Chain A
């Protein structure tokens, strides 16, 4: 980033190459729409480029980058809240055409297995999407970007203890919502495992 600050355009291309995929995925999991996620990711890179002269290496570059990305995503989510449909965990199908896995399915797997896998991943994706925005951002940065607590706290502008509490509540919610996938089998539980 310091090279970009010094005016080296090639270094900006390297940043683009290195961070485009994590950024697009982070934003996709935040907004649940591929086109919007790509548009927002472009906006993030543009903001990085515009702010390159003011960049100071006081924190890790990824912290700075994901702070911008989180702000952009939260603004987008809040702006489009009225358009968003209520997410039902009982909904059998996806509202996102890109929900299908990118890799080609293996020949050895049956269509049923593929459908089950797709349903599982969509079920999990919807559970993540149903989290409050800040909890969702915290989980994505913690689980998928593997950031440490201090770094996530800086991105979300909160204390480390507040972040841990936020994360715990998010994982507790996910544990309950994804009970059909993760709950320990309990005998005599006729109605259990069904989502409310």
Chain B
């Protein structure tokens, strides 16, 4: 392996130890015969160790309580909260629903009559019922010939005993 063949990716894998054993051995074999790469490899190794010297810190004692306090202060979601992420959708849906209600309320029924006609119809029906008896005897009333066949009143009058 030549110096140029130790790419950035190979150096990185060598540095963090994620290179496979074969890959690592190839870098080390090259470094054994190349002073510059050997020095570089050693510096990377030391750098990796030096970065561990930065001490970690611990969160303060009140950290958890502060987080919980901020979470508790968050507004709770309501039943329609699922619409919250899409306010435009929610607004559109509300407008469509309102329009639908207006249309349903205002639209005349197919069987509905105009206002005011109900009273007239009721009167016509009443008249028809009122004259029902006459209508049933319509033939009799209009055919006066039939009346002539009836016995006269005089004939119908009973004989007075002498």
Chain A residues close to B by CB (< 8 Å): 12-13, 16-17, 20-21, 24-25, 28-29, 34, 37-38, 41-42, 45-46, 49-50, 54, 98, 101-103, 117, 120-121, 124-125, 128, 139, 142-143, 164-165, 167-168, 171, 174-175, 178-179, 181-184
- Given contacts A168-B12, A182-B43, A184-B39, A25 and B56 within 8 Å (CB-CB): yes
Please judge, given known A-B contacts A124-B51, A175-B44, whether A21 and B71 are in contact too, CB under 8 Å.
no
Asked if B16 and A142 sit within 8 Å, CB to CB, the answer is yes
Q: Is the CB of B55 within 8 A of A167?
A: no
Q: Would you call A168 and B67 a contact (CB within 8 A)?
A: no
Instruction: Verify A128–B44 contact, CB threshold 8 A.
Output: no
B57-65, B102-110, B146-154 - interface stretch: B57-65
Number of interface residues of B (CB under 8 A): 33
Contact between A164 and B9, CB atoms less than 8 A apart: yes
Contact across chains for A143 and B43 when beta carbons are under 8 A apart: no
Closest chain-A Cβ to B137's Cβ sits at a distance in Å of 83
Complex alpha-carbon distance, A124 and B39, angstroms: 20
A123 to chain B, nearest CB (A): 9
Indicate with 1 or 0, residue by residue over B27-70, a CB within 8 angstroms of chain A CB atoms: 00000000000011011101110110111111110011011101
A117 to chain B, nearest CB (A): 8
Rounded to whole angstroms, the CA-CA distance of A147 and B62 in the bound complex is 29
> Which B residues form the contact surface with A (CB < 8 A)?
8-9, 11-12, 15-16, 39-40, 42-44, 46-48, 50-51, 53-60, 63-64, 66-68, 70-71, 74, 85
Cross-chain contact B57 with A42 (CB below 8 angstroms): no
The minimal Cβ–Cβ distance linking A148 to chain B, given in whole angstroms, is: 8
A12: chain B residues within 8 A (beta carbon): 71
Q: In the complex the two chains form, what is the Cα distance from A143 to B50 in whole Å? A: 11
Known: A45-B71, A46-B71, A171-B12. A102 touches B56 (CB 8 A): yes
Contact B67 A102 (CB under 8 A): no
List 29 A–B pairs whose Cβ atoms lie within 8 Å, in order of A's numbering. A16-B67, A20-B59, A20-B63, A21-B58, A21-B59, A25-B57, A28-B57, A37-B57, A38-B59, A38-B63, A42-B66, A42-B67, A42-B70, A45-B71, A46-B74, A102-B55, A102-B57, A121-B53, A121-B54, A125-B54, A128-B51, A142-B16, A143-B16, A168-B8, A168-B11, A171-B15, A175-B47, A182-B46, A184-B42
Q: Name the contact of A41 in the complex, choosing from B46, B63, B74 (C-beta under 8 A).
A: B63
Q: How far is the CA of A184 from the CA of B157 in the complex (A)?
A: 159
State whether A175 touches B43 (Cβ < 8 A): yes
Q: Do B57 and A184 have beta carbons less than 8 Å apart?
A: no
B16: chain A residues at CB < 8 Å are 142-143
| Assembly CA distance A167 to B10 (angstroms) | 12
Nearest CB of B to A66, in Å: 16
B64 contact set on A, CB distance < 8 A: 16-17, 20
Residues on A with beta carbons closer than 8 Å to the beta carbon of B42: 184
Task: Report whether A178 and B67 are in contact in the complex, using a CB–CB cutoff of 8 Å.
Answer: no
Query: By the criterion CB–CB under 8 Å, are B57 and A171 in contact?
Result: no
